[in-house]
A and B are shown apart, each in its own frame.
Chain A
Amino acid sequence: MIEVSGLSKRFGAVVALDDVSFAAPDGRITGLLGPNGAGKSTCLRILYTVLKPDAGYAKINDVDVVEHPLWARRELGVLPHGAGLYPQLTTRENIAYFGRLHGIKEPALSARIDQLVARLELEEIADRRAKGFSQGQRTKVALARALVHRPKNLLLDEPTNGLDVMSTLSLRNWLSELKARGQCIVLSSHIMQEVAALCDDIVIVAHGRIVAQGTTEALRERFGNKSLEDIFVETVAGS
């Protein structure tokens, strides 16, 4: 369960977030939809504690992330934008490094990595160095890395960026699987179809403000028989 309320953040004169509030319940996928520079990444960065809000709060299971950043990071699995791997380390080593930093010891760590390698179909590249991986392979490894400590909450910043159709489809499958296990998932995207196909709840952001939010169906209803794309264009242009 993730909740943000009255979240605001400025960088100098630029207002990145202005009074943003929403809640992402467990067992659902919440999508932050908005054009580039809308403040989606800033919002997620505050949630995973690399940025601090100027006003408002962000809570995970009712615990404030600003007050308890280390606790929050243990509860979260994070796939930041353009998640970088260590090119000189193999897939297993990349995942193991984060596992150890999460305090997971052998033999539990190896068992967990085997499990992730099997689930994300990484066998072929498991012992290859990350140098030269395709974008799809990198995203898969980064996702495995984010899941190594079995987090109950998952934050993904533009997870389908640079993925081909097949990789996007399998990413959707994993996310649906995680959702079915009762996890709380928040992802950001600037692609309407993707959010509509994947998310239960949608928060549309533009210029650091929320312009519309609700379940995917509710938003469809509210805006009549317009496609989500039309809603998006309308709300963003109107703000």
Chain B
Amino acid sequence: MRTPILVVCRKEVLENGRDRRTVFSTLFFGPLFAPALFAVLINVMLSQALSSMDEVMELPIIGAEHAPNLVGFLRRYGLEPADDGPASLEDARAAVARGQHDIALAVAPDYAQAFRNGDDARVTLIVDRSETGATAASQRVRTVLDAYANQIGMLRLQARGLNPAVLRAVTIDELDVSTAAARSVLLLGMLTYFLLLATLAGGFYLAIDATAGERERGSLEPLLTVPVGRSSLLLGKMAATICYMLLSLALTLFGFMIALKFVPLESLGMRANFDAAVALQTFLLLAPFTPLGAALMTLVASFTRSYKEAQTYLTLVLLIPTLPLLLASLLNVEPDFRLMWIPSLSQHLLVTALLKAEPLSWSYAAVSATASVVLGALLALLAIRLYDREALLG
């Protein structure tokens, strides 16, 4: 019983090692693509978050000459009047509508007069709200304008001998208790998802090849004439799928070790270094997921009639591990003993805890591994039953 499983496993590993598609999805898709994409995404998100407030932004101002004081204030907050901005309100409206500028500011011609009299001095913001970039820009200009208006208002009250606090019936002090770590849950969710995706992708073609591919090539029927039970044949194929998934996972972790060197992880509240020890622990936490993934892919591929059909269905299977992760990031789930029974979610929570440098509970890890392996075994049994049907030959 054991020898045929090994014979089948060895042959599938050898044969698929010569297949360009399998090698690509095992060696390249996960290990190169996922870490690179992750590093780029994180860098983009970080640079957006950090840069927008300090960067100098060009702001076309019409009638700047009426409000030199205001312009000076805007300048101090990084809003530089554009040199060749539109000359009139009409021009500005057209330029923003065309998308030439995100936003423009128009100072009313009677601004100076009104300001001096302490009347309603008016400025107009011209903005196209259907532009995504414009929202952030208008928010920023508004904040600076509000600050200016506030400052002047307070000075005027003081000049009239009033305490500016009379205008503030309620003062709001915001106390932010979120840590950098909590803010990075989404990114961490992405990291586990990339790891699980790369793991599944590693076994993707082998799972198809072993069932739908073998049938389509016409090599399944001769194979079924050897004196070996179908369960042994299928277990051998699943074992080979697991080998490729583990290889892909290991290579992907190695890829992340390199890619994450270029990402300021500390600012996300993660461990500063994703080193070999962390990678090894992540590998051990995720490895029990591979029998489940292999059995699931083999099971789904056994239902299908052709290679193409199997590819379509398995692409959907790749999305399954995302569902718990999506829930986790929406509901901000904390590790809990009961959640360890849910594969992919449990791995996500454990790996996240590991990356946040939180203490890891080995009993949690044991439950997570057991649940994944047991569910994998059940799916494997189901796949074996499907494989025993006569309709298998199509």
The residues of A with any CB-CB pair to B shorter than 8 Å are: 45, 48-52, 70-71, 73-74, 76, 78-89, 93, 97-98, 100-103, 129, 142, 145-146
Contacts and interface: CB of A to CB of B under 8 A. Distances in A.
Given A83-B218, A103-B3, A88 B225 contact: no
A8 to B, nearest CB: 15
B357 to A, nearest CB: 45
A145 B226 CA distance: 10
A86 B4 CA distance: 17
B225 A80 contact: yes
B227 A71 contact: yes
A159 to B, nearest CB: 13
Interface string B99-126: 0000000000000000000000000000
B217 A87 contact: yes
Given A48-B225, A83-B219, A84-B218, 18 more contacts: A50-B390, A50-B393, A51-B390, A52-B390, A80-B218, A80-B222, A83-B218, A83-B221, A84-B222, A85-B217, A86-B11, A89-B15, A93-B14, A97-B7, A101-B4, A101-B7, A101-B8, A101-B227
A74 B225 CA distance: 9
11 contacts: A48-B225, A50-B225, A70-B227, A71-B227, A73-B225, A73-B226, A73-B227, A86-B217, A87-B217, A88-B18, A142-B222
Nearest to B391: A11
Interface in B200-241: 217-229
B19 interface: yes
Nearest to A87: B217
Nearest to A82: B218
Contact of B19 (A88, A97, A101): A88
A79 B219 CA distance: 11
Contacts of B11: 86, 89, 93, 97
A89 B218 contact: no
A85 B7 contact: no
Contacts of B222: 78-80, 83-84, 98, 142, 145-146
A52 B389 CA distance: 10
Contacts of B16: 88
B225 A102 contact: no
B217 A84 contact: yes
B15 A98 contact: no
Nearest to A76: B225
Contact of A88 (B3, B7, B15, B220): B15
Contacts of A146: 222
B15 A86 contact: yes
A153 to B, nearest CB: 12
Nearest to B217: A84
